[in-house]
């Protein structure tokens, strides 16, 4: 199936590794061009090289907690490729700890990055999108099922699902779509401490997927393929939805 991605341009935040990088790889493989961002210059350089280099990829060193970052990302796409068609907005995870244990400082910092950083980025990018554009927020299965010892995530992720739904309502008449993506247990560099086998962290522990209906945890490429489809014109009638990519882990209807 042709996803209609040829020559389309997407911004992907936090996308030099993990789920964002997997999505960027799928988009580029289908003919799209991408702008990837990260706070780490070395990660940006490596991602550019692995995704095909200049002409296919533009890299930006940026932090979504900074007010000016979304405008920089929009400008980078328009200056490098002459257009912008969508975005994958990922801000990583907040500190671990229960809602009662984490400090006010952790709540405030996480609000600026995980919540407001995502909202601001989606708002600025939405203003630059033409009809047919799409924005996907990378959230977590905690948006539907609270996860033990992730109190901040349990607090902010459901709110971002509501924000995405609200944006989808407002942007729908312009032909711009907004989605929430809810990854479950997927083995990335960031999750190896939680899910990796101590003997070989590149492989999941045997017990980590016992309550997942598919009886395994996901590969980043499985998330990337799904996200690339949902951002593409092939998914043009999908908006306002929160879509689980979790092997059936979420039990909520």
DSSP state of 4: S
How high is the pLDDT of residue 93?
Answer: 81
pLDDT band of residue 248 (cuts 50, 70, 90) is very high
First to last CA, the chain: 29
Angle at 71 between CA 69 and CA 75, to 5 degrees: 115
- Beta-strand relationship, 9-12 and 33-38: parallel
In DSSP terms, 87 is beta-bridged to: 11, 135
- Check whether 222 has a pLDDT greater than 90: yes
CATH number of 9-245: 3.40.50.720
How high is the pLDDT of residue 200?
Answer: 80
How high is the pLDDT of residue 110?
Answer: 93
Alpha carbon distances (Å) from 26 to 2, 65, 208:
13, 27, 27
DSSP state of 219: P
Q: Which residue has the tokens 């006010």?
A: 104
The 10s digit of each residue's pLDDT in 52-102 is: 998 999 999 999 889 999 999 999 999 999 999 999 999 878 889 999 999
- Candidates 34, 22, 31; CA nearest to 4 is 31
How high is the pLDDT of residue 84?
Answer: 98
What ranges do the domains of the chain cover? 9-245
pLDDT band of residue 31 (cuts 50, 70, 90) is very high
Q: What is the dihedral of CA 48, 53, 56, 57, to 10 degrees?
A: 20
Q: Based on the number of CB atoms within 10 Å of its own CB, is 68 exposed (0-12), middle (13-18) or buried (19 or more)?
A: exposed
| Residue 7 main-chain phi, psi, to 5 deg | 70, 5
H helices, E strands: number in the chain: 8, 9
The 10s digit of each residue's pLDDT in 112-157 is: 989 999 999 999 999 999 999 999 999 999 999 999 999 999 999 9
* Distance between CA atoms of residues 118 and 52, nearest Å: 27
* pLDDT (mean) for 194-212: 85
């Amino acid at each position: 199936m042709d996803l209609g991605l040829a020559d389309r341009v997407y911004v992907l935040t936090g996308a030099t590794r993990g789920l964002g990088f997997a999505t960027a790889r799928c988009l580029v493989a289908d003919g799209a061009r991408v702008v990837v961002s990260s706070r780490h210059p070395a990660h940006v350089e490596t991602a550019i090289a692995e995704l095909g280099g200049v002409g296919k990829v533009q890299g930006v060193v940026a932090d979504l907690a900074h007010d000016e970052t979304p405008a920089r990302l929009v400008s980078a796409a328009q200056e490098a490729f002459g257009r912008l068609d969508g975005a994958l907005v990922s801000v990583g995870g907040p500190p671990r700890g229960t809602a009662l244990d984490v400090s006010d400082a952790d709540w405030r910092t996480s609000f600026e990055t995980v919540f407001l950083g995502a909202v601001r980025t989606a708002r600025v990018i939405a203003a630059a999108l033409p009809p047919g554009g799409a924005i996907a927020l990378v959230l977590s299965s905690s948006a539907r099922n609270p996860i033990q010892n992730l109190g901040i995530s349990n607090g902010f992720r459901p709110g971002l699902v509501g924000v995405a739904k609200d944006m989808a309502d407002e942007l729908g008449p312009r032909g711009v779509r907004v989605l929430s993506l809810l990854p479950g247990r997927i083995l990335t560099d960031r999750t190896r401490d939680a899910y990796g086998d101590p003997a070989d962290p590149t492989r999941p522990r045997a017990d980590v997927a016992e309550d997942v209906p598919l009886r395994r945890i996901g590969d980043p490429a499985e998330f990337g393929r799904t996200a690339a489809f949902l951002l593409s014109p092939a998914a043009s009638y999908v908006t306002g939805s929160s879509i689980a990519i979790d092997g059936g882990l979420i039990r909520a209807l």
